[in-house]
Amino acid sequence: MNRLSDFMLPDARSTFAGDVDALFNFINVVSLILLIGITIAIIYFAYKYRRKSEDETTPLITHNSKLEITWSVIPLILVIIVFGWGYNGYLNLTTAPDDAYEIRVVGKSWLWEFHYDTGFVSVNELHVPANQPVKLILSSDDVIHSLFIPEFRVKMDALPNRYTSLWFEATEPGEMTIYCTEYCGSAHSNMLADLYVHSQEDFQTWLETADAVDETLSPAELGQQLVQRQGCLACHSLDGSTLQGPSFEGIFGRDRELQDGSVVTIDENYLRQSIIEPNTQVAAGFPAIMPSYAGSLDDRQIDAIIEYLKTLD
């Protein structure tokens, strides 16, 4: 039975993944037994009662109440077991302990923002402690997204008009992938985030130093880091290829036609405006879909990104 789950399921790395897997295996095994039985019956009957002559007649068997009750009641009992088991597991999955560590999650087309209790915001990477309940409180800035962590067996939609939540307790440190599983447009399949599970001490260390500025970095180097971390590259390429937004290659100083037909020269002011209020001056030929970074990036970081973009000739 465990072989089956090893083959079909990702590693179980949360406290309730084992329960989910047990039910998954139970349904699989019972189904497999019944399927084999049904298949054997079909093949056996097809062989045993194959037509031997063209004018055969068959006995009149219209129904058999005992048999019909049997094959109605046994499946009914089985599905009630599965129902109860599934609902019980679901209750555990949706009821977060009171002492859970809360992280706010915001889905935007197409990135994930994670807000920690220190005020630090990470984009497309989530850091959590192991062996401690963590509650994610989700919402979306635009369309519906859905946050899925296969190894934890958790998933929840992020909605634009209300908060939803999920919780988990990771059993061991490690790295995993977070997926968006509600179709949200062009870059839906690139809306991935990295999940880092740290030991509790490492998590505290990470949280304390996460927004510490590395003073040794030049602005352009910091900008390069930020562009990667903030999910910019999901839509803006560095090599000139067109994704959902214009490429960053050679962007600074270039003339750009806007949707209203006017032409602007891309300077510091245009770039700053495009980061804070992206949909006020949209490049012609691209949809107005970029989320705002107001509040996620401070002035120093915006300056650093602009310095970095200047280097991309």
Partner 1 sequence: MATSESTNIKKIQVRRFKPDENPTSNYLTEERGLWAWMTTVDHKKIGWMYLGSIAIFFAVGGILALLLRTELLTPAQTFFTADAYNQLFTLHGAIMVFFFLVPSVPAALGNFILPLQLGCKDVAFPRVNLLSFYIYVVGALFTLFAIFTGGVDTGWTFYTPYSSSAAGGNVMAMTFGVFILGFSSILTGLNFIVTIHRMRAPGLTWNKLPLFLWALYATSIIQILATPVLAITLLLLTMERLLSIGIFDPALGGDPVLYQHFFWFYSHPAVYIMIVPGFGIISEIISTFSRKHIFGYWAIALSSLAIAFIGFLVWGHHMFVAGQSSLANLVFSFLTFLVGIPTGIKIFNWIATMYKGSIDLKTPMLYVMVFLFLFTIGGFTGIMLGALAVDIHLHDTYYVVAHFHYVMVGGMVMAFLGGLHYWWPKMTGKMYNEMWGRISCAIVFIGFNLTFLPQFVMGSLGMPRRYFNYLEQFQGYHVMSTYGSYILGLGFLMVLIYLTHSIFKGKKAPANPWQSRAMEWQAPSPPPLHNFEHTPVIIHGPYDYHKPMSEFQLGIAGSHNGHGHHEHETETKTVEADK
177 binds partner 1 (CB under 8 A): yes
List the one residue from 3, 62, 214, 255 that touches partner 1 (CB under 8 A): 62
Residue bearing tokens 């630090």? 120
Burial-class residue 288 by CB neighbours within 10 Å (0-12, 13-18, 19+): exposed
List the one residue from 2, 56, 66, 216 that touches partner 1 (CB under 8 A): 56
3-state SS of 272-301? HHHHHCCCCCCECCCCCCCCCCECCECHHH
The residues that bridge with 146 in the sheet, in sequence order, are 157
181 binds partner 1 (CB under 8 A): yes
263 binds partner 1 (CB under 8 A): no
Residue bearing tokens 């996460």? 210
Of the candidates 206, 185, 195, which has an alpha carbon nearest to the alpha carbon of residue 112?
195
The span of 72-80, 113-121, 195-203, 265-273 binding partner 1 (CB under 8 A) equals: 72-80
76 binds partner 1 (CB under 8 A): yes
What letter represents residue 224's amino acid? Answer: Q
Residues 264-293 within binding reach of partner 1 (CB under 8 A): 287-289
The span of 156-164, 225-233, 271-279, 301-309 binding partner 1 (CB under 8 A) equals: 156-164
The span of 124-132, 147-155, 205-213, 254-262 binding partner 1 (CB under 8 A) equals: 147-155
What letter represents residue 244's amino acid? Answer: Q
d(CA 106, CA 301): 20
Q: Which residues contact 221 (CB under 8 A, 6 or more apart)?
A: 308
3 binds partner 1 (CB under 8 A): no
How many residues sit in the footprint of partner 1 (CB under 8 A)?
A: 88
List the one residue from 103, 121, 130, 180 that touches partner 1 (CB under 8 A): 180
117 binds partner 1 (CB under 8 A): no
111 binds partner 1 (CB under 8 A): no
List the one residue from 19, 102, 221, 303 that touches partner 1 (CB under 8 A): 19
What is the smallest separation between the CB atom of 90 and partner 1, expressed in angstroms?
Answer: 4
Q: Which residues contact 245 (CB under 8 A, 6 or more apart)?
A: 235, 236, 283, 286, 290
179 binds partner 1 (CB under 8 A): yes
